Structure 1
Amino acid sequence: MPSLGRTDGVATHRYGRVATATVVVVVATIALPDDDVGRGVALMLQAFLLTMVTIAARDASGRALTAIALAAAVLGAVGAVGADLPTWLVLGLSGALAGAMVATMATGVVALVRSEGVTVHAVGGGLGIYLLVGMLFADVVGAVAAVGDNSYFAQGTDATSGERIYYSFTTLTTTGFGDLTPGTEVGRALGVLEMLTGQIYLVVVVALLVGNLRRRVA
């Protein structure tokens, strides 16, 4: 039986590291400037994170995931040197990255729980998914803002990419500072959906993982 610590085509289940890396990527993406260089660097960070998620969850040779990560890394590198990146392309790749990471990590966490029960890394994976959902909603907001005729937010702006991530997490956690509020019916519907997703996920999925971890330790 191969060791779980190996990375040569074998899942590592190091979800604690993935969750930590996700926090770093989220914070860095918010802090990056809203220009081609900043968006390029953000794509490269997300491509690196997808690689970590893929290795942690399962066989790292998945062609679709490898293609998404490679495309994002190349486009990110092009943007990082100052090339003009189409908004639709950046949003599409960013959304594909976030969606791929959520699906891949969820599959890996379920496999880990089935094989080893609830471990610290399973809890880390659960929290990592929560963070990735916030990033995914930010991309959806960006896409809706890009195709809409009116400003997405009531403050008269579509916001920068970093501001949309900030808004997404204040919505997901139901913090709601109020400095950015959706100004359209679609935006409000998305806001409600994200709030419900965040709260239900915490009180059901994360609570179950933490509860079973405590039971196992006891």
Structure 2
Amino acid sequence: MTQDDAAARLNSIRDEIARAAAIAGREPGDVTLIAVSKMHNTLAIQPLIDAGQRVFGENRVQEAAGKWPALREATPHIALHLVGQLQSNKADAAVELFDAIHSVDRPSLIAALARAMNRADRRPDCFIQVNIGDEPQKGGCATADLPALLNAARDAALPVAGLMAVPPVGVEAAPYFALLAKMARDAGLPRLSIGMSGDFTTAVTLGATHVRVGTALFGERA
């Protein structure tokens, strides 16, 4: 991908976010675009950095650790978000590397992250991931378990910023986004990490503060 291609894709996504925000009476600046760079190498990522993108998402700690230190050294002020599942034994590495963690979904991970944050004296924003469609194969806490998990996170002094979810594939996402937005409001949480390449405009109209876009920016993965 050339820098011109990257700039065109980035501008197109930003324009779509702006249009969706206008429909909802929101400001485009209230929505953070996370460019999900999982499974893409530094050669694929650099054109987007050169085009001005500064917030990126990765699914795995180990993959991110292999490519982002050098990229961030070359370009300051890049924010890195972990958008995939996190094993408790990777909590220390995640806290050191990421500025936000979108997949907090169980008490054991809360405890591991709290210990890691205290050791590192670093406190990335945390999103509680909710299994909004109650799908057995997906990460995230059950909707009924959210109040207890939020209490556990707050008791552990985790900096909980909002909620995250991935709706079921192949169905209309809007009802799931709306439900998660209501859950966030009820919990007094200001941020909502919802929406990917196929549905981010719907997510923006329903209150997304963070959209996680990969394919629409990078193209299909090999």
User: What is the TM-score normalised by the length of structure 2?
Assistant: 0.24
More helix by share: 1
User: What is the TM-score normalised by the length of structure 1?
Assistant: 0.24
More strand by share: 2
The structure with the largest alpha-carbon Rg is 1
